[in-house]
Amino acid sequence: MAQDGFRAAEIDTSRPHPARIYDYLLGGKDNYEVDQLAGDELAAAAPEVRIGVRANRAFLQRAVRDVVAGGVRQILDIGTGLPTSPNVHEIAHETAPDVRVAYVDNDPIVAAHANALLSSSGATSVVLGDLRDPRAVVDHPDVRRTIDFDEPVALLLVAVLHFLTDAEQPAQAVAALRDALPAGSFLVLSHATGDFADRSAAQAVYNKATATLNLRSRAEVERFFDGFELIEPGLAQVPFWRPDTTPPPRSHEIGFYGGVARKTT
C-alpha cells in the first residue's frame, strides 16, 4: 500500500534511525527494538543524553513561542522527527491560531505518523523531503501550499544538521534555505557538540545507524548563522537559551548549542 509516494516496505527497520532514537530517549513509543538498543548504548556513552534531548525539546518550544510572539505566522520545520506533543503547530497555535506549519523529514515512518495525526485543513502539511536537497524542499508543492515565501518564515533546523557530514555540505544547504527566505524571517537551530566532553563513544553508536553523528564546535555552529543576526542571548547551550524555568541538573554538561537569528535583508 502506498502513502505519500512511498510504501511501508520502504521503511528501514534493520538499522536505528536518528528520529526513532530521539523518540525513544524522549519516552515515546514510535520506535523499534533496534532504536531502543541504540538509545541505551547512547545513554551509557553520554549519561546526560536524556536530559539533553529534553532540554533541546524545551528550547524548541521556547523558540517557537518567541518567534510567533514576534509576528511570524509561518513555520518550515525540516527534520521534524516523530510527533511529540506538544508539536510545533500546537505550541504555535497557543499564541496565534492562524500559524501555518510545513513539516519535512526524510524518514517515511515520520511522515506516516505525522499524517495520521494532522488534519488536512491547509494549516499544516507533511512532506517527505531531505535537507541535503534544499531546493526540492522549498519547491515541493505541499510546502508551497502551506508556506508563502513572500512573507516571513521561521525556519526550524533543530537537532538535524549534526546528521550531515561535511561532505554533504550542510552550510550550503542552510545558505540555500536562507536565500529562499524574505527579510523578517528567523532561523531556529540547535546542534550537538563535543565541546563539553569527549563524545566519540556516542558518535560510534550512530555509525551503525542510518545517519552518522557529526559533532561541531561553537565556532562551526555559529557559521550556520551567516547571513542572519543572532538575537539575545546568542548561541548558548540549550538549557540557557531564554530559560523559563530553572535549568535541570547537569545542564552545563549538555552537548547541544541552540540559537535563534533574524534575517534582516
Domain boundaries, the chain: 12-245+253-263
Higher pLDDT, 188 or 82: 188
What does the pLDDT look like over 227-256, one tens digit per residue?
999 999 999 999 999 999 999 889 999 999
Whether 114 has a pLDDT exceeding 80, the answer reads no
Identify the weakest region by mean pLDDT among 47-56, 105-114, 126-135.
105-114
Strands (E), the chain: 2-3, 6-7, 74-78, 100-105, 124-128, 154-158, 186-192, 229-230, 236-237, 256-262
Whether 190 has a pLDDT exceeding 90, the answer reads yes
Q: What's the mean per-residue pLDDT of the chain?
A: 91
Task: State the Cα–Cα distance between residues 52 and 192, nearest whole angstrom.
Answer: 10
What is the phi/psi pair of residue 100, to 5°? -105, 140
Give residue 122's pLDDT.
Answer: 64
Q: Could you tell me the pLDDT band of residue 119, with boundaries at 50, 70 and 90?
A: low
What CATH number labels 12-245+253-263?
3.40.50.150
Mean pLDDT along residues 193-221:
95
> Residue 233, preceding bond cis, omega within 30 degrees?
yes
Contact at 8 Å (CB) between 245 and 59?
A: no
Whether 6 has a pLDDT exceeding 50, the answer reads no
Task: State the Cα–Cα distance between residues 122 and 101, nearest whole angstrom.
Answer: 9
What does the pLDDT look like over 28-53, one tens digit per residue?
888 899 999 999 999 999 999 999 99
Pick the closest to residue 50 from 23, 85, 69 (CA basis). Answer: 23
Share of the chain above pLDDT 70, in %: 93
Mean pLDDT along residues 85-91:
91
Task: State the Cα–Cα distance between residues 148 and 122, nearest whole angstrom.
Answer: 12
Contact at 8 Å (CB) between 35 and 20?
A: yes
Give residue 118's pLDDT.
Answer: 67
Task: State the Cα–Cα distance between residues 35 and 181, nearest whole angstrom.
Answer: 35
Give residue 112's pLDDT.
Answer: 74
Task: State the Cα–Cα distance between residues 233 and 175, nearest whole angstrom.
Answer: 22
Mean pLDDT along residues 160-175:
97
* pTM metric for this prediction: 0.93
Give residue 60's pLDDT.
Answer: 98
